[in-house]
Amino acid sequence: MSYNGYGNNYGYNNQGNSYGPPPPGGGWGGPPPPGGPRSNYGPPGGPPPMHTRPGYESNGSSYGNPPPSGNPPHGGHMSSYNPEPYAPSQAYQGGGQGYPPPTGPPPHPEQLHHFGPPSGQLPNAYNNSYNEGNYRAPPPPPTQAQAFGHGATQGYNYQYSNCQGRKRALFIGINYFGSSSALKGCINDVRNLSSFLVERYGFKWEDMVILTDDQSNPRSVPTRQNIINAMQWLVAGAQPNDNLFFHYSGHGGQTEDLDGDEDDGFDEVIYPLDFKQNGHIVDDEIHFRMVMPLPAGCRLTAIFDSCHSGSVLDLPYLYSTNGTLKEPNLAKEAGQGLLSAGMSYLRGDIGGMVSGVSSIFKNVTGSNSSATEISRRTKTSPADVIQLSGCKDNQTSADASEGGQATGAMSWAFREVMMKNSQQSYLSLLQCLREELNGKYQQKPQLSCSHPLDMNLLFII
């Protein structure tokens, strides 16, 4: 199997770069240009691409429904800490010309990792070692609704997914070709992890959207608008027990928190290819686009291989390697205001949803509640959302080399851990990710969830 793209064979011996932005300078981080986004970075016309094979060729399908109406929370403000923008030799054009590919030949097939089918049936919610009588193995997730507890509103529950419904995946890899902050492994990460899901977990190429900056199709380039559209495509029409997967490999950073839900006072962000013109994407907006629309029992597994990514999906339950909440002082969460806001969203009443969330925020801040309490009152979800991130919010993630190939350390570690043992509990998964990177990299992978999580349960994809 070969790829039609470029950019896999550049500098495999790199160990020192990170996915974080370099120090500010040269006027970086100013506000977007007046008058809205520049026209040469606007979304091109025509249908977005989807994929039938890893050559990233389009079959002409659509991303589906338009993005949610209303404005996400302060989603477009700029950081004072940005990587240098991509500087192509030709401007991005909406007529199909696209960014020019990097120089050099496309990768040879032997430079790409292939995983092949598993030697036996991979575990799922019904077929697993625990259900076959091995009660030392991690048990599958429960099928009944789970109460949030800790003073939450009665009747507001969450639901684990059995991941037996529709499978859909979104991959974003940005190497930032031509800039002084270029990365080497991000496109490889996307190719390797997408192949891993297809070859071992039954995902299909036609149910994936892949955005990388080595593609000529303008709808496949990871601009801000294309990323937002693809996020909406991922969650559109989601149902209980659907199995959604998101992977981002690229630059990450931080910016000032404006709504009080961050303990350290900083929101986390990711950097689209055109961030200099159109802005970064802040964690509140990522949550708004990909978590808030999901129904109870729908799984979203999100992997962020970027700097400062520990809480970039804004999930309120962060777990340690001993299986406990890192901040166990739980306040009342998911109150009536949140339930009302959620119902308003499901009815399409965006105004009611915003009003409900705003009232919660006012009540919380008026009572001097902590940022953690604010997060758990406003970002708790009945869906089954799991985030695996490459590092803590205050750490960087390595753009590394493993097996002679440029790769993100976190993306590589996830594949390695799951290939060595597919019967992982959430706890063992987090522990093994840490162990895989320990001694080679300083970063510490993180695991967070949209609801209280039994870390001893079986992790399924």
**Residue 98 half-sphere exposure, CB side, CA atoms within 13 Å?**
16
Look up residue 195 and give its DSSP letter: H
Return the structure tokens found at 37.
């986004």
SS3 304: strand
Distances (CA, A) of 413 to 203, 437, 443: 20, 7, 12
Q: Which of 163, 186, 307, 391 is catalytic?
A: 307
Residue 452 CA, distance from chain mean position: 19
Return the structure tokens found at 194.
């997408």
Residue of 203, 267, 215 lying closest to 5 (CA atoms): 215
Mode of pairing for the β-strands spanning 157-158 and 208-212: unpaired
DSSP string, 321-390: TTSSBSS------S-HHHHHHHHHHHTT-HHHHHHHHHHHHHHHHHTT--HHHHHHHHS--SSEEEEEES
Q: Which of 251, 280, 308, 451 is catalytic?
A: 251
Return the structure tokens found at 24.
């500010």
251 included as an active-site residue: yes
User: What residue has token string 């985030």?
Assistant: 387
Residue of 263, 272, 315, 291 lying closest to 79 (CA atoms): 272
298 included as an active-site residue: no
What stretch of H or E contains 198? helix 186-201
> Mind spelling out the 3-state secondary structure of 111-171?
HCCCCCCCCCCCCCCCCCCCCCCCCCCCCCCCCCCEECCCCCCCCCEECCCCCCCCEEEEE
Dihedral (Cα; 233, 246, 401, 432), 10-degree rounding: -170
Q: How far apart are CA 41 and CA 27, in angstroms?
A: 20
Residues involved in catalysis: 251, 307
